[in-house]
Amino acid sequence: MRFLVFIAPNNFRDETVSMLKMFFDKWGIRYQLTSYSTKDCIGNHGAVYKPDINTNKARVSDYDGIVIADGPGLDEYKIYEYRPFLDMLLQFNQSGKIVGAINNAIRIAARANIITNKKVATPKDPESLRQVQLFHGVPTDKDIEIANNLITISSDNLEQPMQELLQQLGAI
């Protein structure tokens, strides 16, 4: 399996990226970090990652899925309004490939219009709930929801949801 892990150019949630990397490395899932920056990306607690590939150059056909890491940078850069990224998520979804969204990244999945009639682990903030309802998702208060190829995680503690995700992928 091969995944893209999307991070905002700055202010992504460091803990999320380190947890994704740890679990993917432990279970032998290949991944590439991607962003719309070719420079070092800096997390909201100072972690620095250089993207392996610019998101503009990534091809959906080369990957089994994408996971969008959360953090305030998604809002600062208004990733949820960037049509090429939303189209990429739509392509992943239409190809039946995994689309994972964590916490406030769930708003991006909503804006890509891929949550209709699907259960969505909805963060507690009012804007996320509004977006899920606006795009006809079915909000739940679970930490993780797996609806076909859409995986949404709404938890600051990713250990248990990541275990469920890896089981769903057949990695465990």
Using one digit for the tens of pLDDT, what is the confidence trace for 53-88? 999 999 999 999 999 999 999 999 999 999 999 999
Mean pLDDT of 24-38: 94
Which uninterrupted H or E stretch holds 166? helix 159-169
Query: What are phi and psi for residue 65, nearest 5 degrees?
Result: 175, 180
pLDDT for residue 68? 98
pLDDT band of 159, cuts 50, 70, 90: confident
**DSSP states of 144-158 as a string?**
EEEETTEEEE--S--
List the end-to-end C-alpha distance of the chain, in Å, as a whole number: 13
Extract the tokens encoding 5.
């892990």
Is pLDDT above 80 for 27? yes
What distance in Å separates the CA atoms of residue 124 and residue 122, rounded to the nearest whole number? Answer: 6
Residue 34 clears pLDDT 70, i.e. is over it: yes
Percent of the chain with pLDDT over 70: 99
pLDDT value for 141: 94
In the predicted model, is pLDDT for residue 41 greater than 90? yes
For the cut 70, the answer to whether the pLDDT of residue 172 exceeds it is no
The domains of the chain, with CATH numbers, are 2-169 (3.40.50.880)
143 pLDDT band, cuts 50/70/90, is very high
Q: Is the pLDDT of residue 137 over 90?
A: yes
Question: Chain-centre distance of CA 112, in angstroms?
Answer: 12
Q: Tell me what pLDDT residue 88 has.
A: 98
Per-residue confidence (pLDDT) for residue 57, from 0 to 100: 96
Sign of CA dihedral 108, 32, 10, 104: positive
